[in-house]
A and B are shown apart, each in its own frame.
Chain A
Amino acid sequence: MDKSGQPNSWSRALADPAQRSSWMQFVRDRDKQIRAFLQFDPELGREIASGADCDSSESSRTGPLRGIPFAVKDNIAVRSFKLTCGSKLLENFVSPYTATAVQRLLEQGAVPVGKTNLDEFGMGSSTENSGFGMTYNPWDPARVPGGSSGGSAAAVAAGMVPFALGSDTGGSVRQPAAFCGVYGLKPTYGAVSRFGLVAYASSLEIIGVIAREISVIRDVFSAMRGRDPRDHSSVVYPEAQPVQGKPLTVGVPDLGSIPLHEEVQSSWEKTLDVLKSLEYTLKKIELPTLDYLVSAYYVIACAEASANLARFDGVRYGNRSAGFSGNPEQLVKWSRSRGLGDEVKLRILLGTFVLRSGFQDQYYLRAQRIRTAIRREFEGAFSGVDLILMPVYPCGPFKWGSEGLDPFSQKLSDIFTCSANMTGLPALSFPASLENSLPIGMQFLAPPFAEERLLQACERFARVFPVPACPLYQPLQSAGGSRAKGGSAPSGAQGRT
Chain B
Amino acid sequence: MMIPFKNGSQTKDWPLKSSLRIYYWFVAVSSFFPALIKAHRPAGSVAEAEGFYPWVDTGSDPVFNGRQMKVMEREELDITAHLARLELSDEETKRFEQAVVQMLEYFSKMREFDVEGLPPTAQMTQTNRTRKDAAIVNEDTEAILGNAPELEDRFIVIPNVL
Q: Contact residues of A with B, CB < 8 Å?
A: 79, 92-94, 96-97, 189-190, 202-203, 229, 232-235, 291-292, 294-296, 298-299, 306, 310, 313-320, 324-334, 336-337, 340, 342, 345-346, 348-354, 356, 358-359, 362-363, 365-373, 375, 407-408, 411-412, 424
Residues on A with C-beta less than 8 A from B106 are 294-295, 298, 408, 412
Contact B159 A331 (CB under 8 A): yes
Known contacts A353-B100, A373-B115, A408-B102; decide if A332 and B85 are in contact (CB<8 Å).
yes
Residues on B with C-beta less than 8 A from A315 are 23, 26, 149, 156, 158
Residues on B with C-beta less than 8 A from A94 are 143, 146-147
Known contacts A96-B143, A366-B110; decide if A424 and B83 are in contact (CB<8 Å).
no
Contact B119 A372 (CB under 8 A): yes
Which of B8-16, B58-66, B124-132 lines the interface with chain A?
A: B124-132
Say whether chain B's binding surface is mostly helix, strand, loop, or mixed.
loop
Contact A299 B107 (CB under 8 A): yes
Binary contact readout B103-147 vs A (1 if CB under 8 angstroms, 0 otherwise): 110111110110100111111110001110000000010011011
The residue among A313, A370, A412 with the most chain B CB atoms within 10 A of its own CB is A370
In the assembled complex, the CB of B1 is this many whole angstroms from the nearest CB of chain A, namely: 15
Residues on A with C-beta less than 8 A from B103 are 298, 346, 350, 408, 411
Contact B149 A319 (CB under 8 A): yes
Residues on A with C-beta less than 8 A from B119 are 369, 372
Contact A333 B85 (CB under 8 A): yes
**Contact residues, B17-72 vs A (CB, 8 A):** 23, 25-26, 29, 47-48, 51-53
Q: How far is the CA of A108 from the CA of B107 in the complex (A)?
A: 45
- The size of the chain B interface, using a CB distance under 8 A, is 59
In the assembled complex, the CB of A198 is this many whole angstroms from the nearest CB of chain B, namely: 13
Known contacts A348-B84, A375-B121; decide if A318 and B129 are in contact (CB<8 Å).
no
Contact B113 A292 (CB under 8 A): yes
A-B residue pair count with CB separations less than 8 angstroms: 174
Closest to A291 in B: B109
Contact A317 B148 (CB under 8 A): yes
Residues on A with C-beta less than 8 A from B96 are 345-346, 349
Contact A337 B129 (CB under 8 A): no
Closest to A96 in B: B143
Q: How far is the CA of A324 from the CA of B80 in the complex (A)?
A: 25
11 further contact pairs, Cβ within 8 A, besides A353-B80, A408-B103: A96-B143, A232-B130, A315-B156, A317-B148, A327-B160, A346-B96, A346-B99, A358-B47, A367-B110, A370-B115, A408-B102
Q: How far is the CA of A359 from the CA of B110 in the complex (A)?
A: 13
Q: How far is the CA of A373 from the CA of B115 in the complex (A)?
A: 8
Closest to A326 in B: B159
- B2 in the interface (beta carbon within 8 A): no
In the assembled complex, the CB of A362 is this many whole angstroms from the nearest CB of chain B, namely: 4
Please, could you name 12 A-B residue pairs with CB atoms under 8 Å apart, sorted by A? Answer: A232-B131, A291-B109, A318-B147, A328-B25, A334-B87, A350-B103, A353-B76, A353-B104, A354-B107, A358-B48, A370-B113, A408-B102
Closest to A319 in B: B149
Closest to B28 in A: A328
Residues on B with C-beta less than 8 A from A325 are 159
Binary contact readout B73-111 vs A (1 if CB under 8 angstroms, 0 otherwise): 000110011011111100010011001101110111110
The one of A330, A368, A411 that contacts B120, using a Cβ cutoff of 8 Å: A368
- When A and B form their complex, which 7 residue pairs have the shortest distance between CB atoms, in order from nearest? A368-B120, A96-B143, A317-B147, A424-B124, A320-B149, A369-B115, A369-B118
In the assembled complex, the CB of B58 is this many whole angstroms from the nearest CB of chain A, namely: 17
Contact A373 B158 (CB under 8 A): no
Residues on A with C-beta less than 8 A from B100 are 346, 349-350, 353
Q: How far is the CA of A326 from the CA of B161 in the complex (A)?
A: 9
Contact A368 B85 (CB under 8 A): no
Contact A324 B159 (CB under 8 A): yes
Contact B125 A96 (CB under 8 A): no
Residues on B with C-beta less than 8 A from A306 are 84
Closest to B118 in A: A369
The one of B87, B112, B121 that contacts A371, using a Cβ cutoff of 8 Å: B121
Q: How far is the CA of A444 from the CA of B26 in the complex (A)?
A: 47
In the assembled complex, the CB of B71 is this many whole angstroms from the nearest CB of chain A, namely: 17
Residues on B with C-beta less than 8 A from A411 are 103
In the assembled complex, the CB of A465 is this many whole angstroms from the nearest CB of chain B, namely: 32
The one of B25, B48, B108, B124 that contacts A189, using a Cβ cutoff of 8 Å: B124
Known contacts A190-B124, A368-B121; decide if A328 and B143 are in contact (CB<8 Å).
no
Closest to A80 in B: B143
Contact B144 A96 (CB under 8 A): yes
In the assembled complex, the CB of B49 is this many whole angstroms from the nearest CB of chain A, namely: 9
Q: How far is the CA of A296 from the CA of B115 in the complex (A)?
A: 12
Contact A328 B26 (CB under 8 A): yes
